[in-house]
Amino acid sequence: MAFGAFTATAAPVDAAPRKRSLVALFLLLPGILYLALFFLAPLVSLILTSLQTPDPLAFGEPGAYDYAFKWENYATVIGTYGEHILRSFFYALLATIFALLFSYPLAYFIGVTLRRFPLVQALGLTLVIAPFFISFLLRTLAWKQILSDEGVVVTALKGLSLMGPEAHITGEPVAVIFGLTYNFIPFMTLPIYTSLQNLDLRYVEASGDLYASPARTFFSVVLPLSAPGVISGALLTFIPAAGDYVNASSSFLGGRDTQMIGNVIESNFLVTQNYPAAAALSIVLMAAILILVSIYVRKSGTDDLL
Partner 1 sequence: MSRFFSRLSFGKYAIWIYSILAFLFLLIPIVYTIVYSFNDSRRSNIVWRGFTFDNWTQVCQAQGVCQSFLNSILVGLTATLLATILGTMIAIALVRFRFRFRNSVTLLLFLPMATPEVVLGAGLAAEFLTAGVAKGALTVIIAHTMFCISFVVVTVRARVAGLNPALEEAGRDLYASPAQVFLRITLPLLMPGIIAAALLSFALSFDDFIITNFNSGAFVTFPKFLYTAAARGIPAEANVIASAVFFIAIIFVVVSQLTAAARRKRLARE
Buried b (16+ CB within 10 A) or exposed e, 202-240: eebeebeeeebeeeebeeebbeebbebbbbbbbbbbbbb
Q: H/E element holding 44?
A: helix 41-50
Nearer to partner 1, 59 or 133 (CB): 133
Nearer to partner 1, 174 or 293 (CB): 293
Q: Look at residues 96, 107, 274, 124 and name the one whose alpha carbon lies nearest to residue 193.
A: 107
Check binding of 266 to partner 1 (CB under 8 A): yes
Residue 128: partners with Cβ closer than 8 Å, 6 or more residues away: 106, 110, 185, 186, 189, 190, 193
The interface region with partner 1, picked from 161-169, 197-205, 222-230, 261-269 by CB under 8 A, is: 261-269
- Which residues in the 238-257 window bind partner 1 by CB under 8 A? 239-240, 242-246, 251-252
Nearer to partner 1, 81 or 252 (CB): 252
Nearer to partner 1, 32 or 161 (CB): 32
- Which residues in the 50-79 window bind partner 1 by CB under 8 A? none
Check binding of 42 to partner 1 (CB under 8 A): yes
The interface region with partner 1, picked from 10-18, 71-79, 170-178, 220-228 by CB under 8 A, is: 10-18
- Which amino acid type is present at position 110? I
| C-beta neighbour count of 270 within 10 angstroms | 9
Check binding of 81 to partner 1 (CB under 8 A): no
The interface region with partner 1, picked from 77-85, 105-113, 159-167, 169-177 by CB under 8 A, is: 105-113
Check binding of 135 to partner 1 (CB under 8 A): yes
| C-beta neighbour count of 50 within 10 angstroms | 22
Check binding of 129 to partner 1 (CB under 8 A): yes
Check binding of 173 to partner 1 (CB under 8 A): no
Q: Give the torsion sign (CA, 276, 250, 142, 95).
A: positive
Smallest gap, in angstroms, from Cβ of residue 254 to partner 1? Answer: 12
Check binding of 91 to partner 1 (CB under 8 A): no
Q: Look at residues 169, 188, 305, 183 and name the one whose alpha carbon lies nearest to residue 241.
A: 183
- Which residues in the 214-233 window bind partner 1 by CB under 8 A? 214
First to last CA, the chain: 13
Rounded CA-CA distance 182/142 in Å is 12
With contacts defined by CB under 8 A, how many residues of the chain interact with partner 1? 98
Q: DSSP of 119-163, one letter per residue? A: HHHHHHHHHHHGGGGS-HHHHHHHHHHHHSTTSHHHHHHHHTTSS
Interface map 184-213 toward partner 1 (x if CB under 8 A): -x----------------------------
Check binding of 140 to partner 1 (CB under 8 A): yes
The interface region with partner 1, picked from 68-76, 137-145, 161-169, 223-231 by CB under 8 A, is: 137-145
Rounded CA-CA distance 25/146 in Å is 54
Check binding of 104 to partner 1 (CB under 8 A): no
Residue 157: partners with Cβ closer than 8 Å, 6 or more residues away: 163
Nearer to partner 1, 161 or 299 (CB): 299
